[in-house]
Amino acid sequence: MTIAKQSAKKVIDSLPDDTSYDEILKELAFNRMIERGLEDSKNGRTISNEEMKQKIKQWQK
């Protein structure tokens, strides 16, 4: 079994039996976002809080 499949199975198995298909998809997407964020952090692909504040200010224009 691949790592991706094992990870997905772990997320699905952790959910209640009455979980809807949409909730499963949301949980899988959330889990993947967390994994990507951790990978980015581990590989130094981050920005400072100050840089993020500047980006947000640009969105508000």
pLDDT (tens digit per residue) in 6-47 = 999 999 999 999 999 999 999 999 999 999 999 999 999 999
| 51: phi then psi, degrees, rounded to nearest 5 | -60, -40
pLDDT of 40 = 97
Domains in the chain, number:
1
pTM of the model: 0.76
pLDDT of 5 = 96
Q: Which amino acid is at 52?
A: M
Largest CA distance in the chain: 48
How many Å apart are CA 45 and CA 17, to the nearest integer? 37
Residue range(s) defining the domain that contains residue 29:
3-59
Residue entry with tokens 């990507």: 36
Instruction: Decide: 7 and 35 in contact? Cβ < 8 Å.
Output: yes
Model confidence band, residue 61 (pLDDT cutoffs 50, 70, 90): confident
